[in-house]
A = this chain, B = another copy of it.
Amino acid sequence: MEVKARAPGKIILAGEHAVVHGSTAVAASVDLYTTASVRLPSSSDKDDLVILQLKDLALEFSWSISRIKEALGVFVGAISTPTSCPAECLKSIVSLVEDQNIPEAKIGLASGVSAFLWLYSSILGFVPVDVVITSELPLGSGLGSSAAFCVSLSAALLALSGSVNVDREYRGWMVYKEDELDLLNKWAFEGEKIIHGKPSGIDNTVSTYGSMIKFKSGSLTLIKSSMPLKMLITNTKVGRNTKALVAGVSERAIRHPDAMNSVFNAVNSISNELSILIQSPVDDEVCLTEKEEKLAELMEMNQGLLQCMGVSHASIETVLRTSLKYKLVSKLTGAGGGGCVLTLLPNLLSGKVVDEVIAELQSCGFECFIAGIGGKGAEISFGDLS
């Protein structure tokens, strides 16, 4: 038996950084997916193994069931509700990961493998499985690749475990019911905690539910976009230190409290305006174009405020300038200091212009993705999808 689950990545449409200082932010799903395929091997296969393949990275890890049971059996009984991995258990998991001799250059993946072991053993117990992960999301670029990994993996494991009510005969992508999405989201959050320590919960929530969420002071509200929205996502491939960037903004806020407070207030207004704009109905093409213009203006304003916070970067400015040549508006998304940049692609924009701007950005060494924004969340499927 095999189940596939896919979960989307996320972008921050407005409010990054300022959210740390009490402003509203808006995140949205992007239709770039991480897919987890989980297969229960038939008895004729080489049994007694848990295999995790990270296809895009050409990595494969495996453990014998007895080894995992020995290490984690005492911690993982009959868990049916999402539970945080106890510190003692995490130690055992880390030693299981160390067995695998992950190459030094890819050691950053260790926490993801740890999250896998916790989610697998807690949700499914100790049965042989063959897990294959593929992803359209670049790693560590602020597009929520780790959350999409945790959500897709948890979704597939939950479907196999029988903890959720799904139609195993249906052929095609299915979504969970509302309360089961909550269960999925909570499990994925437990995986995220292993990877990130103190995640905000935004990434896994967007990846689980799709669409968009508004968040402020730790509280999340799902919002429904009524606007077909397409963005060009440019990965500058410039690595950055999110913690240092967040700390830099806080230090600037300490040095210039009045000015920065006004800046955070401005961002708050922009996020609120944007979420109202995105939820308001679109009557016709004219109306859509007007809304796109307003959205572009809000993005431009937010980008200026991010520059005011000091989190832009030469690579980001290059993307801004390049897209501006084509009269397209961009803003950084996420931590800044490199990472990804969003460029709004109006619905009436010709494909030729899109091709040109992509070619020019690629010639700068950047990686480009066209993505629909605010679409579906996690989905599962049994059997053949082709």
Contact = CB atoms under 8 A, between A and B. Distances in A.
Contacts of A314: 321, 324-325
Interface of A is mostly: helix
A262 interface: yes
- The contact size tier of chain A is 35 or more
A97 interface: no
Interface string A38-81: 00000000000000000000000000000000000000000000
Contacts of A302: 308
Max chain B C-beta neighbours (<10 A), residue from A263, A265, A297, A298 = A263
B310 A300 contact: yes
A26 interface: no
Interface string A295-306: 001101111111
Interface stretch (A115-123, A252-260, A278-286): A252-260
A266 B294 CA distance: 22
A302 B310 CA distance: 11
A99 interface: no
Contacts of A256: 269-270, 273, 297-298, 301
A217 interface: no
A340 interface: no
Contact of A308 (B260, B304, B324): B304
B303 A307 contact: yes
Interface in A209-262: 252, 255-256, 258-260, 262
A100 interface: no
A308 B308 contact: yes
Contacts of A95: none
Interface of A: 252, 255-256, 258-260, 262-263, 265-267, 269-270, 273, 294, 297-298, 300-310, 312, 314, 317-318, 320-321, 324-325
